[in-house]
Amino acid sequence: MRVVSICLNPAIDISSETDIIYPISKVRTHSERIEPGGGGINVARVLCGFDLTPSLIYLSGGSTGRLLDEELLSYPMDAHCFRINSATRVAFTVHQTSNHQEYRFVPEGPLVEADVLEKVIDCVAALNLSSNDVVVASGSLPRGVPDTIYASIAEVVERYQAKFILDTSGAALSETLKSKARIFLVKPSLNELQKLVGCKLDEYTARDFAESLVSSGQAEHVAVSMGSHGAFLASTDSLLRLPAHLVKVQSAVGAGDSFVGGLVYYLSKGHSVQTAFRFGVAAGAAAVMTSGSQLCLRADIDKLFQTEMEFEEF
């Protein structure tokens, strides 16, 4: 099985720590980390941690884009980079050690030219995917990119009968679900699902909506993460719920991407979606155990996955 990860809005993720954050005066930070980031890049980084060599399709521009390219060189990926005129965004996360609060500053992203998007779609088509392959589209959309872009990519993936996994939010999620393209799995958080529906949901109304997405054929599987309330997986023939792992929270950065990366890795090993979902939950929990923009660690995932986590009645 080949895995292709798509990142249309990558970032340079800079994380640091300080004792206290206050206005006007300089806030001195320490323990700085610089990581290549953005949904699809984070998913690919997780897969590299499992000794896989994913294909990565991403956009890059400006001096920050060159830094992104350099940071990615340390990962064993088959990278396909498409240059844009605007600079790659830079995201900041600051952990306030006095009260263990985390502050995240995430720009909307650069302006992307239409001809670059055409090249991305052509690149996916040229991969000559097979029915065993998985294509992951993860992350927000930068400026200039139509909300239908993931739907267009899904249509290309469908031609090869490969599996398409989507992790995005807002209009991009809505437009893709409304398309006729086949979606193997979609992974919204509870908050993202609420924004899609347009009203507040509890875990039971979220379950009902996820089941409606499956029964209507909009997605074969819907995996919903609910933070401290765990996660659930709605499929045609099953509804599974897992409680949250009890871990010490360091940072929420990359937890959802780690969830997807872990799930995709286990799928690539021939496991069922249900078992892969359980591994993904362990990977997401492992991510919050690391600080700043660091993602999940394999040793933490294995330890959590070996914990007897029983599927709950739902």
Q: What's phi and psi for 13, nearest 5 deg?
A: -95, 120
Query: Residue 270 and residue 279: Cα distance in Å, rounded?
Result: 13
Q: Is 269 strand, coil or helix?
A: coil
Alpha-helix runs per DSSP H in 73-143 = 114-126
Catalytic residue among 19, 257, 300, 302: 257
Q: Any catalytic annotation for residue 302?
A: no
The H-or-E segment that residue 30 falls in is strand 30-37
Q: How far apart are CA 270 and CA 132, in angstroms?
A: 10
The secondary structure element, H or E, covering residue 68 is: helix 62-72
3-state secondary structure of 223: strand
Q: Residue holding tokens 């294909």?
A: 55
Active site residues: 257
